[in-house]
């Protein structure tokens, strides 16, 4: 087995390579001269090797998310995998999925109370086992029944509306050679059928993008869906499996419990599966609303992880005064970016790079606030003239991007409908569970490097 490292797309380093700035959440790593030489060699393609010091440094970088592993030959094969498919009333999708996973030696289909029971008749492969629930118990219970009936250590959960690309397991399995890895998710692309499929190809809640990442609360990728997810069975057992009391958000809940147990969850977009979007606008809006309702329940279980924005206090105050039309009130916070710039310069980053980092942090804050306004705060914004103007300003870049990209004009309307439906679900969930966390931002003070929340 040979392990090489590739830098995260957002990684920056000082000219001498002794300061690395990256990861998600953003953090700073300081290296010795020897460590900097090692990292340069790794990023040039040299294998990590077996030296304990090198392996310790590599693990530190991987855990921080400033680098991602590439393993040419792992210890796991397709024989170590069982595909588990929860399904209810989707025989056509199931048949398509089974046809695409015929190379996997063990597949378990959990029929969660379909109106017409799935029997497996007509399936040519003897490797398919059917587990049936007499009545619908939900996706969490179906996945639990499936993985507990398996005999392999690795479980690949695939929803019945998923079709994996050929070779989709190849980039995922080697990552399990790291015993700390509990789960790895592929990229979920959308079949572009109709206007909904076209919209979801650019705005799907299941597609986490084209860059690998460590998955963690507060990170660039804070969760991955179990529509397509490979897990280590022992880690899921230790976490207690899926919570069957959750109708929505059970995947996020499991991921965060795994991370809370000290396990690593990785996103590997070199592996791709395809997802069939909802076929009607009503079903699609209902899905978005239901996703929103899960936020409050998850906030109760995982306090601090579901805030609609995460901002330094000074940054939040600065932009709040701008939004209120009183920017001069925020002058007292204007020194914060300057202090951050000085700290980065003192750490060894060039002035231009340090200025870029500080500028991107401010831009990221604006993006977070605009996103929260569009998705969560829009009901309050409608009640005042200034709020309506801010909401219009928040949607302006969305409209501009859609127009300049030459997309279907209806995509802009779907974006608005998407935000409204999700936001209504969030508010409904908050009222039902009596929690406000998903509708308020998390404001934190920065540490000495100005990066991480305390």
Residue 454, pLDDT > 60, answer no
Mean pLDDT, residues 111-115? 94
d(C-alpha 59, C-alpha 181), whole Å: 12
User: What's the pLDDT tens digit per position in 24-75?
Assistant: 778 889 999 999 999 999 999 999 988 999 999 999 999 889 999 988 877 8
Instruction: Point out the least confidently predicted range of 192-201, 253-262, 289-298, 432-441.
Output: 192-201
Q: What DSSP string runs through 276-305?
A: PPPSSHHHHHHHHHHHHHHHHHHHHHSTTS
Would you state the pLDDT for residue 320? 82
Report the 10 Å Cβ neighbour count for 386: 11
Residue 449, pLDDT > 50, answer no
Helix, strand, coil fractions of the chain, as percent rounded to 5: 45, 20, 35
Burial of 47 per CB tally in 10 Å (0-12, 13-18, 19+): middle
Would you state the pLDDT for residue 436? 96
Q: Which of 386, 378, 388 is nearest to 425 (CA)?
A: 378
User: What's the pLDDT tens digit per position in 338-381?
Assistant: 888 898 888 888 888 889 888 988 888 889 999 999 999 999 88
Would you state the pLDDT for residue 25? 79
282-288, Cβ contacts within 8 angstroms, sequence gap of 24 or more = 284/196, 285/417, 285/421, 286/421, 288/205, 288/417, 288/418, 288/421, 288/422, 288/425
Q: What band does 330 get if pLDDT is binned at 50, 70 and 90?
A: low
User: What's the pLDDT tens digit per position in 204-225?
Assistant: 889 999 999 999 998 899 999 9
Q: State the DSSP code for 267.
A: E
Residue 192, pLDDT > 90, answer no
pTM for the predicted model, two decimal places? 0.90
Q: Where are the beta strands (DSSP E) in 173-330?
A: 181-190, 213-214, 228-232, 264-275, 310-312
User: What's the pLDDT tens digit per position in 140-153?
Assistant: 999 999 999 999 99
Average pLDDT in the chain: 90
| Superfamily designation of domain 78-278 | Spore Coat Polysaccharide Biosynthesis Protein SpsA; Chain A (3.90.550.10)
d(C-alpha 47, C-alpha 133), whole Å: 49
Q: Assign 446 to helix, strand or coil.
A: strand
Residue 125: which residues within 8 A CB-CB, separation 6 or more? 98, 102, 107
Q: Where are the beta strands (DSSP E) in 285-416?
A: 310-312
Would you state the pLDDT for residue 120? 64
User: What's the pLDDT tens digit per position in 421-431?
Assistant: 999 999 999 99
Instruction: Point out the least confidently predicted range of 96-100, 113-117, 180-184, 411-415.
Output: 411-415
Would you state the pLDDT for residue 448? 44
Burial of 355 per CB tally in 10 Å (0-12, 13-18, 19+): middle
Q: What band does 447 get if pLDDT is binned at 50, 70 and 90?
A: low
Mean pLDDT, residues 251-268? 96
Q: What band does 155 get if pLDDT is binned at 50, 70 and 90?
A: very high
Would you state the pLDDT for residue 43? 95
Would you state the pLDDT for residue 410? 80
Residue 453, pLDDT > 80, answer no
Beta bridge partners of 190: 275
d(C-alpha 224, C-alpha 239), whole Å: 17
Percent pLDDT > 70 in the chain is 95
Q: What band does 450 get if pLDDT is binned at 50, 70 and 90?
A: very low
Residue 123, pLDDT > 60, answer no
Tokens of 211: 């860059």
């Amino acid at each position: 087995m040979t392990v090489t490292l590739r830098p995260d797309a957002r990684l920056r380093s000082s000219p001498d390579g002794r300061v690395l700035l990256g990861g998600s959440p953003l953090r700073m790593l300081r290296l010795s001269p020897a460590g900097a030489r090692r990292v340069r060699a790794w990023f040039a393609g040299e294998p990590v090797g077996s030296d304990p010091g090198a392996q310790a440094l590599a693990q530190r970088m991987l855990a921080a998310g400033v680098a991602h592993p590439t393993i040419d030959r792992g210890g796991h094969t397709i024989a170590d995998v069982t595909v588990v498919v929860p399904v209810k009333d989707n025989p056509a999708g199931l048949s398509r999925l089974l046809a695409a996973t015929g190379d996997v030696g063990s597949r378990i289909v959990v029929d969660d109370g379909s109106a017409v029971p799935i029997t497996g008749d007509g399936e040519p492969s003897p490797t398919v086992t059917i587990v049936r629930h007499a009545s619908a118990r939900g996706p969490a219970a179906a996945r639990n029944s499936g993985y507990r009936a398996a005999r392999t250590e690795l479980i690949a959960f695939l929803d019945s509306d998923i079709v994996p690309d050929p070779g989709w397991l190849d980039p995922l399995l080697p990552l399990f050679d790291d015993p700390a890895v509990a789960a790895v998710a592929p990229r979920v692309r959308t079949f572009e059928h109709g206007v909904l499929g076209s919209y979801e190809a650019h705005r799907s809640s299941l597609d986490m993008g084209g860059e690998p990442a460590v998955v963690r609360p507060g990170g660039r990728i804070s969760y991955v869906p179990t529509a397509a997810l490979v897990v280590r069975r022992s880690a899921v057992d230790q976490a207690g499996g899926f919570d069957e009391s959750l109708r929505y958000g059970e995947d996020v809940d499991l991921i965060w419990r795994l991370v809370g147990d000290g396990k690593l969850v990785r996103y590997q977009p070199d592996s791709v599966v395809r997802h069939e979007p909802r076929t009607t606008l009503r079903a699609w809006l209902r899905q978005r609303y239901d996703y929103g309702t899960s936020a409050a329940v998850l906030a109760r279980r995982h306090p601090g992880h579901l805030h609609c924005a995460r901002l330094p206090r000074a940054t939040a105050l600065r932009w709040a005064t701008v939004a209120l039309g009183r920017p001069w009130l925020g002058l007292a916070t204007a020194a914060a970016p300057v202090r951050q710039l000085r700290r980065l310069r003192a750490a060894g980053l060039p002035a231009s790079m340090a200025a870029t980092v500080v500028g991107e942090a401010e831009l990221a804050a604006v993006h977070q606030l605009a996103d929260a306004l569009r998705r969560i705060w829009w009901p309050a914004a409608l009640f005042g003239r200034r709020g309506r103007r801010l909401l219009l300003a928040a949607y302006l870049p969305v409209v501009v991007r859609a127009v300049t990209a030459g997309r279907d004009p209806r995509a802009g309307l779907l974006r608005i409908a998407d935000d409204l439906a999700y936001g209504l679900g969030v508010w409904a969930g908050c009222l039902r569970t009596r929690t406000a966390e998903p509708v308020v931002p998390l404001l934190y003070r920065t540490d000495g490097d100005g990066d991480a929340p305390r």
